[in-house]
Structure 1
Amino acid sequence: MLNIFARASVSRVTDPIGTWLVRRGLSPNAMTVVGTVGTVLSAVWFFPRDQLFAGSVAVTVFVLFDLLDGAMARARGSGTPFGAVLDASCDRIADGALFAALTWWALAVAQDRSLAAASLVCLVAAQVISYVKARAEASGLAADGGLVERAERFIIALVGTGLEGLSVPHAATVALWLLAALSVITVGQRLVAVWRAAKGAQG
């Protein structure tokens, strides 16, 4: 949902940076891989060590690389089919690493099984939300939108963990349970969107 409203504003900032990076010989695919590796390493290094604020900042920095690879592709004129698959695959890896690391933290550090369950719901729902869209598009149907897409997932999760790292009580708990609920709703929204698109195509 945020993507619809924020994309144009963000592009005005990222497009000049993307053009500058392309002129210096960097490729969108390289940016995608660097951002994903950085996100994964930051998540699995900081969160299980209870370094929530540092982890939130580090993951945020590397997630921003995901904005730059798109800007770089636009600077080149267009993306490539491989680049699109690589970007989508790396997004799923980064999502999985973030919520797996938070589950690890919830079990090993916070020792809160219910919070770990919320994180696992977020992990599974994140994958399903993206899969429904990809599978629908492969079938010629539309499945965009919903309450929480990738940007919202990261914002809610990282704001919660960052505040928890700054000693704000229950911030991570509120964030992860809120995100779990919204993610489940989003799965339903996308399935309904596919059903409506399929019904429209048949009619």
Structure 2
Amino acid sequence: MAYDRTAMLKLLRPAMTRILTPLGRALAGRGIGPDAVTAIGTLGTVVSALLLFPLGHLTAGALVITVFVLFDLLDGVVARLGGKGGSTWGAFLDSTLDRVADASIFAGLILYFVAGGDTLMAAVTLVCLVAGAMVSYAKARAEGLGLTADVGLAERPERLVVALVAAFLAGLGVPYVLAAGMWLLAVASLITVAQRVVAVYHQARET
């Protein structure tokens, strides 16, 4: 299956894989394939983000979403234990639904800010959503042209960690943490887009 190959995820993946292996074995034994796991994880993330965040349940939302985000690792475990391995379709589905899940998280936070009358932070979070999508698109488009665009401050794991930790702490009453997290992500994501554009520009000039 396709994963964002950052240093953070490389460090966390072996430990998380060991934890998730019993569950993966149980699912594979019941004939549940990795594509179904991917779809369940995305559906759970979307429903949780769009229901809990707008209602102000930030801590609960962050915890539930984190559980479903782990399905991004569980689908690979199920594929391996089921003897099917990865597949081109599975990689495409995984990558595509990742974008849907990410968008729902930030959309839920946008609705939370709108409900609270904070239009500035709603706009900043919208920047996070759009810039995050552009980060992923820039990499995919570069690879489609035979180039690479792996550089950048804020790839998917970093964006998820910052957003979910900020939401979790904000729900516990920590002041300004959610606003700070969104501002940080907005700036970091825009910088990442610029870094990838520059990287592709230099590679294209050399061809």
Root-mean-square deviation (CA, aligned residues, Å) is: 1.8
TM-score normalised by L of structure 2:
0.88
Look up the equivalent residue of 2:125 and give its one-letter code: S
Looking at structure 1, the residues matched to 169 and 152 of structure 2 have their Cα atoms a distance apart, in angstroms, of 26
Equivalent residue in structure 2 for 1:157, among 163, 174, 177: 163
Structure 2, gaps ≥5 residues long? 1-5
Residue matched to 2:86: 79
Q: Secondary structure at the match of 1:49?
A: coil
Displacement of 1:4 in angstroms is: 4.4
Shift of 1:77: 4.9
Query: For 1:181 and 1:10, how far apart are their aligned partners in 2?
Result: 30
Local SS of the residue matching 2:54:
helix
Aligned length: 200
Whole-angstrom CA distance in 2 between matches of 1:146 and 1:174: 20
- Report 1:1-203 matches (<5 A): 1=6, 2-14=8-20, 17-75=23-81, 76-109=83-116, 111-200=117-206, 202=207
Gaps (5+ residues) in structure 1? none
1:73–1:136: structure 2 CA closer, same or farther, 3 Å change rule? farther
> What's the secondary structure of 2:32's corresponding residue?
coil
The one-letter code of the counterpart of 2:157 is A
Q: Does the aligned pair in 1 maintain the 2:13–2:73 contact within 8 Å?
A: no
CA contact (8 A) 2:17 2:74 kept: no
TM-score (norm. length: structure 1)? 0.90
- Give me the identity figure in percent: 48
What amino acid sits opposite 1:78 in the alignment? G
